[in-house]
Amino acid sequence: MTHSAPEHWATDAGDADVALLDVPPAEARARRFEIDVRFVVRCPDRLAEAWHALTVELDGKRHWQRRIPTSNPGQTDSLDYHCRVEVPAGAPLRIRALAQAHGARRLQLRIDAEEG
């Protein structure tokens, strides 16, 4: 019996407002992935109603959404999301992250999927 290393898929969209990660199907087995999505913004020195938001979609359906006031003037702030997803044998997985920022500058939008 051969034991292969766990799959790891990732994409870093930089300062874009959309990140997309397509995990191809595995025909012979079901899989479980730990999904991490991270959105980092640069906070202005004066926040003035700044906010940032993140939406996570799994296979075309909204799975999670949050909008928060931006804090940490002059530094960075982030929104992070983690979930576990079961993927049946023969099925792909599509993860899409949509980021919004008002009064803050987008720095990084990243998706990681680690088999576990």
Domains, in order of start, for the chain: 8-115 (2.60.120.40)
Instruction: Round to whole Å and give the CA distance between 113 and 96.
Output: 12
Q: Which token pair is 107?
A: 């720095």
| pLDDT (tens digit per residue) in 38-92 | 999 999 887 678 999 999 999 999 999 999 999 888 899 999 999 999 999 999 9
What does pTM read for this prediction? 0.92
HEC secondary structure over 1-58: CCCCCCCEEEEECCCCCEEEEEECCCCCCCEEEEEEEEEEEECCCCCCCCEEEEEEEE
